[in-house]
Amino acid sequence: MQPLKIGKHTVRYPLIQGGMGVRISAGRLAGHIAKNGGVGLVAAAGIALNSGLYNGRNFFQAEAEAFIAELHKAYEIAPDGVIGVNVMVALSDFEPLVKAAIEGGAKVIVCGAGLPMGLPELTSDHPDVALVPIVSSLRAAQLIVRKWRKTYNRLPDAVVVEDPDTAGGHLGEKMENIGTGEYDQYATVREIKAFFRDECGADVPVIAAGGVWDRADLEYALAAGADGVQMASRFVCTEECDASDEFKQRYIDCKKEDIGLIMSPAGLPGRAILNNKEKIRQFDLDHHTPCRMGCLKKCSYKESGERFCIVTALDRAQRGDVETGLVFCGTNAWKSDRITTVKAIFDELFGDQPGT
């Protein structure tokens, strides 16, 4: 297994920790991932909640401040590590959060839940910051690349190809297209690599995300053409993960059949542990939960009260209320059987690799 180079940044192992919003992957987890030789990501969405900086009225200001604080926390753990961020394009404060990420010292910016067409403009004064879009199709990659080349004379520093059939959280695919058996993630990986090579004359790393749990999955991904993997759910049940003990226990207790799809008020499907599905919506009905934050550009709950307030549902779970809160996960979350450490997972994945 070769080191992973993304732009001007190189990590010992070909692994990016996936961004998990509303403080599941905050500074502590990202820092320890980076310390152990991967790319650690602080997720932007809802980072202000449960941070001590949000007072009920200053959400967007607190988001930026908490984002910077978590990046600083990560660098305290891994001063020389490659630490980045995940910022959803769907967030209302996408642009300010990208700027806050740069201020906080992020070396990599990963963007999904939409196509980050204007991202290079936001980072134009910081060319060393690596830019990494998340896509699920060759067409999405082509749209981004052609826009970036024409307008900004820049290519992505890497691309993450997310498998909607296995990945957790918000998914970049229509609900009816998920789980049909028609999607071939690694064919998409190879197509995107060939597109960069043939149309752009560049060797751009392509990262496989979704369904990667153990060393066999990692080796399969690399053999199938990926330059690295993105893993998120595997790191939830670690001592270093920023989630509550109850959140982690939900992973350990869940069964394969408990994991399914839910339609987010963002208009995107999401994969989660759903044995409390009715209670998520009922909480907002019982408490007449208002939209206090306006965190998403488009949100059916904000606009019409449809579905549920996703950021508060995720926040409740992060704090420990997994009865009415929403617990996002990938399809392999049921494989969790104990609390471990980030180092132990890296040892399992890369234990006989040089430099370990």
Mean pLDDT of 329-337: 97
Mean model confidence pLDDT for the chain: 95
pLDDT category of residue 115 using cuts at 50, 70 and 90: very high
pLDDT tens digits, 164-188: 999 999 998 899 999 998 999 999 9
How far apart CA 193 and CA 85 sit, in angstroms, is: 23
The CATH T-level fold of domain 4-243+337-350 is: TIM Barrel (3.20.20)
**What pLDDT is stored for residue 353 in this prediction?**
60
Mean pLDDT of 54-70: 96
At 37, which helix (H) or strand (E)? none
**Which residue type occupies 348?**
E
Mean pLDDT of 2-21: 97
Say if residue 1's pLDDT is above 90: no
pLDDT tens digits, 221-279: 999 999 999 999 999 999 999 999 999 999 999 999 999 999 999 999 999 999 999 99
Mean pLDDT of 296-324: 94
pLDDT category of residue 98 using cuts at 50, 70 and 90: very high
Mean pLDDT of 115-142: 96
pLDDT category of residue 354 using cuts at 50, 70 and 90: low
Say if residue 356's pLDDT is above 70: no
**Which residue type occupies 330?**
G
> What are the start and end residues of each CATH 3.20.20.70 domain in the chain?
4-243+337-350
How far apart CA 123 and CA 106 sit, in angstroms, is: 11
pLDDT category of residue 319 using cuts at 50, 70 and 90: very high
pLDDT over 70, % of the chain: 99
Q: 135 — phi, psi (to 5°)?
A: -135, 170
How far apart CA 337 and CA 318 sit, in angstroms, is: 19
Alpha-helix runs per DSSP H in the chain:
27-35, 59-77, 94-103, 119-122, 138-152, 185-195, 215-223, 245-253, 277-287, 300-304, 310-319, 342-350
